[in-house]
């Protein structure tokens, strides 16, 4: 019996679009009645006719939608989550620059333009944050780290994810006093050898004392378990977590 096609992932619809026109047509119909979807994208050399990631991002921005998590699906496709931009959500400089080009090309739709107008009005447009690729360590953080060599040394060992998590939190601070407080908190964390996205090793369990003598217990026959047919390894693993991989864009 042929397998039924998967129509949703983590409780949200799966959408397939052969090209940009199909994606824009879907958004035209559904950009207001769906909060988020997973767009199926064909892998390189899969032979599938599919919209590209770059096309999908531009198309989403035109309607006020942004991309976030990526997840595996199978050997031929992968998933990219798209959702409506949250009210008051921050903007990345990358998306701000892309939208400027889309406006110049006359591609923005009313829903997307409304998000731009709102961001310009409340200051989020000018406060757009740097991406992980372009973010630089700010002078105030460098100065604070220089005063605590242990924190400075540990910060230098951080990989991209925990390093950017710190920088993003500083970039997203709306008030100077909030930024100062966050710098102090991060310096304290780094001094203790801690950082965002780093998992501390679990403490070893206490060793049990010597076993008391007594009659040996008979081995119990394990209760039979009803086997469940797996959905698929990549999909099952990916459905475990829904933590956003990137901050709002």
Residue 246 has pLDDT above 60, yes or no: no
Highest mean pLDDT among 38-47, 91-100, 191-200, 240-249: 91-100
Q: Are 136 and 168 in contact (CB under 8 A)?
A: no
Segment 59-79 mean pLDDT: 94
Output Rg (C-alpha) for the chain, integer angstroms: 24
Q: Are 135 and 164 in contact (CB under 8 A)?
A: yes
Q: Could you give the dihedral angle defined by the CA atoms of residues 16, 237, 83 and 8, in that order, rounded to the nearest 10 degrees?
A: 50
Neighbouring C-beta atoms of residue 137, cutoff 10 Å: 13
Segment 183-205 mean pLDDT: 78
Residue 213 has pLDDT above 70, yes or no: no
Closest CA to 168 of 137, 191, 199: 137
Least confident of 22-26, 61-65, 169-173, 245-249: 245-249
Residue 29 has pLDDT above 90, yes or no: yes
Segment 105-131 mean pLDDT: 96
pLDDT score for 8 = 66
pLDDT score for 226 = 35
pLDDT score for 249 = 65
In sequence order, what E strands does 43-128 have?
Answer: 65-72, 77-84
Show Cβ contacts of residue 18 under 8 Å, excluding neighbours closer than 6 positions: 49, 50, 51
Residue, of 165 and 235, whose pLDDT is higher: 165
Residue 23 has pLDDT above 60, yes or no: yes
pLDDT score for 235 = 39
Q: How far apart are CA 38 and CA 237, in angstroms?
A: 16
Band of pLDDT at residue 238, cut at 50, 70 and 90: very low
Residue 220 has pLDDT above 80, yes or no: no
Q: How far is CA 163 from CA 88, 129, 153, 197, 237, in A?
A: 25, 15, 13, 9, 26
Beta-sheet pairing, 77-84 with 36-42: antiparallel
Evaluate if pTM is beyond 0.85.
no
Read off the tokens for 219: 């081995």
């Amino acid at each position: 019996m042929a397998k039924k096609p998967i129509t949703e992932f983590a409780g949200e619809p799966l959408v397939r679009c052969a090209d940009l026109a199909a994606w824009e047509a879907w958004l035209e119909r559904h950009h207001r009645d769906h909060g988020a979807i997973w767009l199926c994208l064909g892998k390189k050399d899969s032979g599938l006719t599919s919209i590209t990631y770059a096309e999908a991002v531009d198309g989403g921005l035109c309607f006020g939608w942004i991309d976030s998590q990526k997840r595996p699906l199978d050997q031929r496709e992968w998933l990219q989550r798209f959702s409506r931009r949250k009210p008051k959500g921050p903007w990345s400089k990358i998306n701000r620059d892309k939208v400027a080009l889309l406006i110049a090309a006359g591609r923005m739709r009313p829903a997307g333009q409304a998000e731009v107008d709102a961001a310009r009005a409340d200051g989020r447009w000018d406060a757009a944050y740097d991406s992980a690729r372009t973010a630089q360590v700010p002078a105030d953080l460098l100065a604070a780290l220089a005063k605590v060599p242990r924190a400075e040394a540990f910060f230098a060992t951080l990989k991209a994810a925990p390093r950017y998590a710190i920088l993003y939190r500083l970039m997203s601070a709306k008030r100077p006093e909030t930024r100062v407080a966050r710098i102090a908190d991060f310096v304290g964390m780094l001094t203790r050898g801690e950082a965002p996205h780093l998992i501390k090793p679990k403490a070893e369990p206490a060793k049990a004392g010597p076993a008391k003598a007594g009659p040996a217990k008979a081995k119990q026959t394990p209760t039979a378990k009803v086997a469940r047919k797996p959905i698929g390894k990549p999909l099952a693993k990916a459905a475990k977590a829904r933590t956003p991989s990137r901050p709002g864009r």
